[in-house]
A and B are shown apart, each in its own frame.
Chain A
Amino acid sequence: MEYHNRIAKIGLFAAFSIILGVFENFFPLPFPGIRLGLANIGILLSLYTLRLSDTMIVVLLKSLFVSIFAGNLVIKLLLSLPSTFVSAFVMYIYIRLTDKYTSPISTSALGSLTHIICQFIILKIFVIKNLAIYSFLPYFSLISLLTGIFIGYLTCIVLKHITAYNN
């Protein structure tokens, strides 16, 4: 039962992430290159309710399918997969360390920041080597911090219903 429950949740969260990830491509923010990160809700939910290994499956599925649907599979995957993995792992550590005192809001903010920083680093190392990322990264990280807080808030709401349902 426990096993089936887990598999079901992995599938549910991954599907949730993929749909939101593709969906938000149609609703761009006023800052090109930055998305709200709605797909991150699914990853946050799995971090809070599943094991690390399960979450990584969600991350893999989400990155793969969102990239396929967005076109430019290789480039998208290159930019999104490592950043999402790193950011999920950082969030996992953070939750393990501070879960008693924090809510998904700061977790999501941290993850969002980690994600954008990783993307810039990948961009510099693999795509455009001469890009001076350090001078403009702060502006991007500021915006992603805000989107991260917003996503964290949404996660709080969803999580509240999930725990209520489980109990």
Chain B
Amino acid sequence: MKYLTKTDIFVISLLLAVCLLPIFGNKTINKDKTLLLLIDNRIYELPFKRQILNLKKEYGVNMVVEIDTDRARIIESDCPQQICVKYGWVEECGEMSVCVPNKTAIQIKCEQRKEIDGISQ
């Protein structure tokens, strides 16, 4: 049985490039962050202000989200594996914490701020 071959290295670096290229093009500078709460096919925007939000009453899922000024995390959930709770803070563009059994996720959405070339006044 052969171990790592040259073609292996080539294929792996190709796959690596496929993974890395989108990351390079995805800088957080000049972007407006918003916090989204996604439940099934519903979509809500949560304000970035310090608070602990129980999703039970308003959104009907047994979860608690902690929001900071520019990040958020799920701190309680009734799902068995607790993957979303273990995930911790989400703060980068596109970063998400997903609770699959509850069909619920929090995710950071970023919008590129357009570069302004001139101002008319």
* Co-assembled chains A and B: yes
Q: Which residues of A approach B to under 8 Å, CB–CB?
A: 25, 28, 32-33, 70-72, 75, 79, 98, 101-103, 105-106, 109-110, 113, 123, 127-132, 134-139, 141-142, 145, 149, 153, 156, 159-160, 163
Total count of chain B residues near the partner, CB < 8 A: 48
Chain B residues whose CB sits within 8 angstroms of the CB of A153 once the complex forms: 3
Given A75-B100, A102-B11: A130 and B43 interface contact (C-beta under 8 Å) = yes
Question: Are A149 and B12 neighbours in the complex by a CB distance under 8 Å?
Answer: yes
State whether A131 touches B95 (Cβ < 8 A).
no
CB atoms of B36 and A32 under 8 A apart: no
Say whether B38 faces chain A, with CB atoms less than 8 Å apart: yes
CB contact list, B1-53 vs A, under 8 A: 1-8, 11-12, 15-16, 18-23, 26, 36, 38-43
Structural contact, B96 and A106, CB atoms closer than 8 A: no
| Chain A hits for B7, CB < 8 A | 98, 101-102, 106
Pick the contact of B1 from A71, A135, A163 — CB < 8 Å? A163
Complex contact A131–B1 (CB within 8 A): no
Q: Mark B70-83, 1 if CB is under 8 A from A, else 0.
A: 00000000011101
- B contact set with A: CB distance below 8 Å: 1-8, 11-12, 15-16, 18-23, 26, 36, 38-43, 79-81, 83-84, 86-88, 92-96, 98, 100-101, 103-105, 107, 109-110
A136 to B105, CA, bound (A): 13
- Given contacts A71-B80, A103-B5, whether A110 and B98 have CB atoms under 8 Å apart is no
